[in-house]
């Protein structure tokens, strides 16, 4: 018996109620344990796609399955447990008075309680290195700490796939690296929506480029980002001074 | 619970009053205020009894009376009305230092003043010994509507976020030469309030999405497993019992 892929998207199309067509038939297959970057310019449909994965939006056409389970109304609860979305602004995600309560919110909704709930919270906070901040208000944390707590709130649900929306935005370089260290140590399937191309190279061996609601490229991150024509066509750009070669390590020669 | 989320009316401590479950304190405070309101206004001694009762609770909770009294100034604007009553009330009137004062007006003013003050002091005592978060948990346990609790919880969390947003918008306006002291620039502030509303509304939608993504189905999960025992209720309601005895005494005496 083969294990089903963590994520399977087939021919997904979606139009907003106002008629704006955001997705025109997206195909995407992510195996268990893969880390994939979802790249594309603003307005390409990245966030719209992400919100389909846990059934916030329902497909106009096509289908989505998570770990073999179809995203449809009857499965919504289990789907939302399996898909952990970490939103771009931690202030949108962290809404409880204390860090510990916020991390407990997800698993408690999915029916975990008592000592098991406590253990989930402890483990998730320990994983992101925030165990000692359990009783503090998210308001009093730094941006990097908040981002890691937001990640913990989702990890506590033990998801099949983690979906991160712009995880590196608004973080200072050290906080970026700390978050990357945490993500690399997880071993969970990850889909990372980002504009931060160096971050994509550092974290995700594979990348998918989406533009105008369709997948326009899918392959090893390094190969895609070493293709200047592809980048230019889809409004992607490495930061000044970065050059990538298909085989060698990436360097920041000109910037230093 | 609730540590790190203090409010100016809360005085951190670990006294028996602080440790009582919040729903017990809410019920006790409510009953206490009902007793005060039901006491006839002429029963002057009984009101002194209520003050002594509150003083005893402050002593147990280690709240300095001065700390409470400073915060009770919040009542001041409401006292203005009471001060007017002796001058505007009806007959019979009595002379005091050359002023003609109405007797029913004086009694009316006293009634508002003493009952209002005792009510404020009781609420302040509850607030001083209970963090906001626990007040919400208490209300939830008393079966207040779940939606109200959710709204209050979110308000508690986001009031600072929204205040921060307003501050940044104001800085951005001032940086572009805006000076709201001039009357003709007030319009920009007004429009700022409008866009702050839209931003807050959009934030609300994003927060809602994030909650749905973590399996929220309309009701806050119960995260606190402390159990309230009969002993808690007996302890917590004891002051309310004293207040009831005082009220009854008032009714008998007058």
pLDDT, mean of residues B78-106: 79
pLDDT, mean of residues B33-57: 93
Q: Is the peptide bond between B92 and the residue preceding it cis, with omega within 30 degrees of 0?
A: yes
Q: What is the pLDDT of residues A212-242, one digit of tens each?
A: 889 999 999 999 999 999 999 999 988 888 8
For residue A95, the distance in angstroms to the closest alpha carbon of chain B comes to: 6
Residues B152 and B65 in one domain: no
Residues B119 and B31 in one domain: yes
Residues B51 and B91 in one domain: yes
Beta bridge partners of B96: B99
Query: Does B194 score more than 90 pLDDT?
Result: no
Q: Do B225 and A136 touch (CB under 8 A)?
A: no
Q: What is the pLDDT of residue B76?
A: 82
B102: in domain:
yes
Residues B94 and B207 in one domain: no
d(CA B202, CA B165): 13
Which tokens is A198 given? 């160096």
B221: in domain:
no
B31: in domain:
yes
B222: in domain:
no
What pTM value is reported for the model? 0.74
For residue B172, the distance in angstroms to the closest alpha carbon of chain A comes to: 19
Q: What is the pLDDT of residue B152?
A: 83
Helices A114-127 and A143-155: crossing angle, nearest 10°?
140
Residues B247 and B184 in one domain: no
CA B53 to each of CA A255, B46, B118, B233, B236: distance values in angstroms, whole numbers, following the listed order: 72, 11, 11, 18, 13
For residue B92, the distance in angstroms to the closest alpha carbon of chain A comes to: 56
Q: Which of B133, B203, B214 sits opposite A97 (nearest CB)?
A: B133
Dihedral of CA atoms B157, B160, B163, B168 in degrees, nearest 10, equals -120
Q: Which of A77, A124, A139 to mutate to test the interface with B (most CBs of B within 10 A)?
A: A139
Residues B153 and B42 in one domain: no
Query: Mean pLDDT per 10-residue run, chain A (256 residues)?
Result: 87 89 92 95 87 88 93 91 92 87 92 92 95 90 93 94 93 93 94 93 95 93 92 90 66 42
> Residue A5 phi/psi, 5° resolution?
-65, 155
d(CA B156, CA B64): 27
Q: What is the pLDDT of residue B1?
A: 39
B153 contact residues in A (CB cutoff 8 A):
95-97
Query: Does B218 score more than 80 pLDDT?
Result: no
Q: What is the pLDDT of residues A119-136, one digit of tens each?
A: 999 999 999 999 999 989
B88: in domain:
yes
Q: Which of A77, A85, A96 to mutate to test the interface with B (most CBs of B within 10 A)?
A: A96
Q: Do A87 and B210 touch (CB under 8 A)?
A: yes
Q: What is the pLDDT of residue A1?
A: 57
Query: Does B51 score more than 90 pLDDT?
Result: yes
Contact, A56 vs A44, CB < 8 A? no
d(CA B30, CA B23): 11
Residues B79 and B104 in one domain: yes
Domains and CATH numbers, chain A: 35-46+89-251 (3.40.50.300)
Name the residue among A102, A104, A170, A120 with its Cα closest to residue B157.
Answer: A102
Residues B61 and B33 in one domain: yes
B83: in domain:
yes
Residues B95 and B159 in one domain: no
Residues B206 and B234 in one domain: no
Contact, A99 vs A134, CB < 8 A? yes
Residues B130 and B23 in one domain: yes
Q: What is the pLDDT of residue A253?
A: 43
pLDDT, mean of residues B105-126: 91
d(CA A83, CA A70): 12
Quote the domain boundaries for residue B44. 16-139+227-253
Residues B60 and B36 in one domain: yes
Helix (H) or strand (E) holding A52: helix A46-53
Name the residue among A37, A67, A64 with its Cα closest to residue A53.
Answer: A64
B11: in domain:
no
Total structural domains in chain B? 2
B25: in domain:
yes
d(CA A69, CA A90): 28
């Amino acid at each position: 018996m083969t294990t089903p892929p963590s994520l399977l998207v087939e021919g997904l199309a979606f139009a907003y109620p106002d008629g704006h067509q955001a997705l025109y038939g997206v195909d995407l297959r992510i195996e268990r344990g893969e880390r994939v970057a979802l790249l594309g310019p603003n307005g390409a449909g990245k966030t719209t796609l992400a919100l389909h994965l846990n059934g916030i939006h329902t497909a106009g056409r096509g289908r989505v399955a998570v770990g073999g389970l179809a995203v449809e109304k009857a499965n919504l609860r289990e789907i939302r447990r399996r898909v952990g979305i970490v939103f771009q602004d931690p202030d949108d995600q962290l809404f409880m008075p204390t860090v510990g309560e916020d991390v407990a919110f997800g698993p408690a909704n999915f029916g975990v309680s008592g000592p098991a709930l406590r253990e989930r919270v402890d483990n998730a906070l320990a994983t992101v290195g925030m165990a000692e901040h359990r009783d503090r208000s998210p308001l009093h944390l730094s941006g990097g700490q908040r981002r890691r707590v937001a990640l913990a709130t989702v990890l506590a649900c033990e998801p099949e796939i983690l979906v991160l929306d712009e995880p590196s935005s608004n973080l200072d370089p050290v906080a970026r690296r700390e978050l990357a260290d945490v993500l690399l140590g997880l071993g969970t399937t990850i889909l990372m929506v980002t504009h931060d191309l160096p971050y994509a190279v550092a974290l995700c061996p594979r990348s998918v480029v989406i533009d105008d609601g369709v997948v326009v490229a899918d392959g090893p991150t390094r190969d895609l980002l070493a293709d200047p024509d592809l980048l230019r066509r889809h409004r992607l750009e490495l930061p000044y001074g970065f050059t990538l070669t298909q085989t060698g390590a990436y360097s920041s020669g000109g910037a230093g | 619970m609730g540590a790190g989320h203090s409010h100016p009316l809360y005085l951190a401590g670990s006294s028996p009053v602080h440790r009582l479950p919040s729903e017990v304190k809410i019920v006790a405070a409510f009953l206490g205020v009902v007793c005060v309101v039901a006491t006839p206004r002429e029963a002057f001694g009984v009101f002194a009894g209520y003050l002594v009762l509150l003083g005893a609770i402050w002593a147990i909770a280690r709240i300095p009376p001065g700390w409470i009294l400073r915060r009770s100034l919040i009542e001041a604007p409401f006292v203005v009305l009471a001060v007017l009553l002796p001058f505007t009330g009806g007959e019979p009137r009595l002379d005091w230092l050359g002023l003609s004062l109405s007797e029913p007006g004086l009694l009316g003013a006293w009634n508002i003043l003493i009952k209002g003050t005792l009510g404020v002091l009781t609420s302040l005592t509850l607030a001083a010994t209970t963090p906001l978060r626990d007040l919400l948990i208490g209300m939830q346990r008393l079966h207040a509507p779940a939606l109200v609790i959710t709204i209050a919880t979110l308000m508690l969390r986001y009031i600072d976020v929204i205040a921060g947003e307003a501050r940044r918008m104001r800085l951005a306006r001032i940086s572009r030469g805006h000076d709201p002291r001039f009357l003709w620039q007030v319009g920009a502030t007004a429009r700022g309030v409008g866009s702050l509303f839209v931003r807050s509304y959009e934030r609300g939608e994003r927060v809602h999405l994030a909650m749905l993504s973590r399996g929220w189905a309309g009701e806050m999960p119960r995260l606190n497993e402390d159990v309230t025992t009969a002993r808690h209720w007996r302890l917590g309601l004891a002051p309310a019992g004293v207040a009831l005895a005082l009220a009854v005494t008032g009714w008998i005496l007058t």
